[in-house]
Structure 1
Amino acid sequence: MREDLSLLRERRFASLFAARTLSMLGLAFAPVALAFGVLDLPGADAGTLSLVVAAEAVPHVLGLLLGGVVADRYPRRLVMFTGECLSLVAWLGIGTMLLVGWAPIPLVCAFAVLTGLAGAVVWPVLSGIIPEVAPRDRLQPANALLAVGANAARVGGLIAAGAVVVAIGPGWALIAAAAIYACAAGFAWRIGTTPRPGREGGTSVLAELREGWVEFSSREWLWVVVAQFALLVLAWQGAHTVLGPVVAKAELGGAGAWSAILTGEAVGMLVGVLVAMRIRPRRPILVGVLLTSATSLPYLLLGLGAPLPVIVLGGFVMGLGMDAFTVLWQTTMQREVPPEALSRVASYDAFGSMVFGPVGVLLAGPAAVHLGAHTALLVCAGLIIASALLALLSREVRTLRAPEVATPVPEGSFAAPVDPAAP
């Protein structure tokens, strides 16, 4: 553990850690504040919230592939800085409108588009920048440390956001998120740049996308799990951003209850990455896919009308499973994919995983009206479980092995040099 924590003494990794942690702290304010800020607007309902969330989700998904090209082409520090600045402007705009009492839905949606573009920029760059600031043999602890910071921030942010929304309203929560994004942008700038091999002049965006597609499509384990997540995220987006808040507002006490569920999830994520720092499964993708089935638990419990403490526990289990999966997934991609194509492959990963997310958001509102929110949540939980079972049909998902971990050399003895390019 001391060796893992020593990464934080490296200036560039420490700057990335601070930027990522602050970014997640700001983001933790947003879902609670945005959901209940929109639902409190005159005449707003589940359909209104679906529209605003979709305005964020659609440009996020559509911009991911271009974001991957940008992150592989330009200094990743600069790309990350730009994304944090976009989030700063977006949440400051929405928060200000809520505070002054003038928040027309088209303008709220316009700022939500900016948050989606920010995510499309930042998501691909994160996968590519980690190998630039951490040694190859320490990628898993580096991913885990970043996740620990992000989830600790998520826990604190959700608790604080719930308190701020209840006490003084969602507008101030979004203003606070904007201020935190400003700090995140400052640390992102401090990461610095790593020289990368230049490309031949005249390489087009389409050519670079094709190169990324070849790397992505040639790995069955990768595209099968991405296909799994296309179904999982469709269900998760509808349940998490619309159906869950609707049930929480109607039956569980509102923003405080939903914040408690999200906090349980965030605590589970924190525990999940602590577990992931220590485990070294021989078949990381198999273990990861099994863990993703836990994502269904809180929505299953919400659909069944379970008591709030039980749902919070379900959120904890979901968070543990998903973030342990995330660390294993990111580490495997960083080991298996060439660094010069990593952000583009990550963008195909994110695009494929999230492509149906806006559909889930748009369907959630009508589903809550016509089926009832409880029935719709049960459908979402069933789809999440089915997606994991389908992914396990792939042989590569079940059998892909992690590299052998080198046996420590006793003090005073010598080890043969290891070729860093060797698999």
Structure 2
Amino acid sequence: MTSPTDAGLRRARRPAWAGRNYTLLTAAAIATNLGSQGALIASAFAVLESGGDAGDVGLVAAARTIPLVLFLLVGGALADRLPRHRVMVAANTLNCLSQAAFAALVLTGDPLLWQMMALAALGGTGHAFFSPASEGMLMSSVSGEQAGRAFALYRMSMHGAGIGGAALGGALIAVLGPGWVLAIDSAAFLVAGSLRAFLDVSHIPARAPGGGMLADLRDGWREFVGRPWLWTIVVQFAVVNAVVVAAEAVYGPLVARDELGGAGPWGLALAAFGAGTVGGALVMMRWKPRRLLLAGTLCVFPLALPSAGLAVPLPAVGLALVMFLTGLSVEVFGVSWMTALHQEIPEEKLSRVSAYDMLGSIGMIPVATALAGPAESAFGRSTALWGCSALIVLLTAAVLTVPDVRRLTRRRTSKTERASVAPAAAAAVSADAESAVGRPG
């Protein structure tokens, strides 16, 4: 039996900012990332083993992405209207059931393409409702000066679980087949949903009756466009994410095949990127830059390096080093971005604002990946890759001309204290703090 002294020692060893909700959210995120990263690989192999080709793999991936784009804003409004943990549990339940059905189809026979597309669409729908609720719940679970450290540890846990999940999933597909990996992902959603069911939302103020879903979306939109630092960075990353994905998902494997000797060097580069994100999270657990968005935006410039490295192309070791630096830099931006949202956005609007952020971050990715092939044919692969790098540099430099991006500072006020400050006054506080010296994905 555990004594009160033992329990007290365990509580003492846990940092004050790692409260019950934060611990549950982190544990659940580890579970889902362990399962989901392997499941992404498994779904592609399930399509191929059923007789499909690369085009069919793309159709299943598109079937997952389309409902994510369609329902993301609705999910954000719903998460700000209902208790967020209930939305998260319902979405996890949908993902659990859809992956279980996908696994059963693969294990019991030859699944048809339309069946796999339908189940992938259900998974994307669950993700659309889950993500804004999860973002809002995470941000409401931490407060004070240690918020950045909490976000860094959370992201490091997610990235570490994703790296491990991809490696474990690939190994299990080779040994057991894709069906069992999909079944494991279903079980991971069950575990995660069970953990999230125990989240405590008693500290979150009750939602005031609103004027309906459209009114909620308009309110979130006003919050979004009323902050220049917010919408300009989201617009920036709409393009940045699109060209990064096009370069790495389309051109990267082609360069590896034609110039680097096969898939091995590209796999090494992607692994180095994952290691870099973990390293970046470790850095942000100790570093708390005063000018959040300035530090974060400066760290977006290295995202231009992988496209340039592929255009040259660099040898495998050089490309891996570039990808490691990119992973580290993008994590500095990611933690800074989450800390800024946590500090500046009222708690009751977090999920809606996060939904607009996420929609901007993914909205142009299908367009960019679709245009990658024609761009290579028209301009050549090297020129297209240099174009990707140039877009990232130009857009990031443009964002730095926005005064709020340069001036927004880390504040020490609590969540409750700053929630009572009107947006215009909050901006004035930020500007005044900077007077002495002068986003999404």
Give the TM-score normalised by the residue count of structure 2.
0.81
- With 377-386 and 313-322 compared, the bigger mean Cα shift is at 377-386
- With 121-130 and 397-406 compared, the bigger mean Cα shift is at 397-406
- Between Structure 1 and Structure 2, how many residues are aligned? 410
Alignment check: 8 A CA contact 1:158 1:263 kept: no
- With 5-14 and 323-332 compared, the bigger mean Cα shift is at 5-14
What CA distance in whole angstroms lies between the structure 1 residues aligned with 2:285 and 2:342? Answer: 16
Alignment check: 8 A CA contact 1:244 1:258 kept: yes
What CA distance in whole angstroms lies between the structure 2 residues aligned with 1:376 and 1:36? Answer: 30
What CA distance in whole angstroms lies between the structure 2 residues aligned with 1:172 and 1:122? Answer: 24
Alignment check: 8 A CA contact 2:149 2:285 kept: yes
Match of 2:39 among 19, 30, 55: 30
1:410 corresponds to: none
How much identity, in percent, do the aligned residues show? 35
Deviation at 1:61, TM superposition (A): 1.9
What CA distance in whole angstroms lies between the structure 2 residues aligned with 1:299 and 1:133? Answer: 37
Match of 1:271 among 274, 279, 288: 279
Return the letter of the residue paired with 1:133. S
What CA distance in whole angstroms lies between the structure 1 residues aligned with 2:279 and 2:374? Answer: 36
Alignment check: 8 A CA contact 1:130 1:139 kept: no
Q: CA RMSD in A?
A: 3.2
Return the letter of the residue paired with 1:33. A
Q: How has the CA–CA distance of structure 1 residues 50 and 286 changed in structure 2, closer, same or farther, with 3 Å as cutoff?
A: farther
1:206 corresponds to: 214
2:124 corresponds to: 116
2:361 corresponds to: 353
Alignment check: 8 A CA contact 2:103 2:183 kept: yes
1:107 corresponds to: 115
Deviation at 1:198, TM superposition (A): 3.8
Task: Structure 2: state its 5+ residue gaps.
Answer: 1-10, 427-441
What CA distance in whole angstroms lies between the structure 1 residues aligned with 2:258 and 2:177? Answer: 19
What CA distance in whole angstroms lies between the structure 2 residues aligned with 1:112 and 1:40? Answer: 17
Deviation at 1:5, TM superposition (A): 5.0
Deviation at 1:271, TM superposition (A): 0.9
| CA displacement, residues 183-210 of structure 1 (integer Å, 9 cap, x when unaligned) | 2111111223235434444521111111
What CA distance in whole angstroms lies between the structure 2 residues aligned with 1:400 and 1:76? Answer: 28
| CA displacement, residues 365-398 of structure 1 (integer Å, 9 cap, x when unaligned) | 5556777766655543443333322322322222
Match of 1:18 among 27, 33, 37: 27
Deviation at 1:346, TM superposition (A): 1.0
1:197 corresponds to: 205
What CA distance in whole angstroms lies between the structure 1 residues aligned with 2:390 and 2:81? Answer: 40
2:309 corresponds to: 301
Deviation at 1:335, TM superposition (A): 0.5
Deviation at 1:39, TM superposition (A): 5.6
Give the TM-score normalised by the residue count of structure 1.
0.84
1:203-352 matched pairs, under 5 angstroms: 203-245=211-253, 259-352=267-360
What CA distance in whole angstroms lies between the structure 2 residues aligned with 1:35 and 1:387? Answer: 34
1:58 corresponds to: 66
1:150 corresponds to: 158
- Aligned-partner SS, 1:315: helix
What CA distance in whole angstroms lies between the structure 2 residues aligned with 1:99 and 1:372? Answer: 43
Deviation at 1:14, TM superposition (A): 1.2
Alignment check: 8 A CA contact 2:259 2:313 kept: no
| CA displacement, residues 315-363 of structure 1 (integer Å, 9 cap, x when unaligned) | 3222211122111101111111111111111111111222212222333
What CA distance in whole angstroms lies between the structure 2 residues aligned with 1:172 and 1:303? Answer: 39
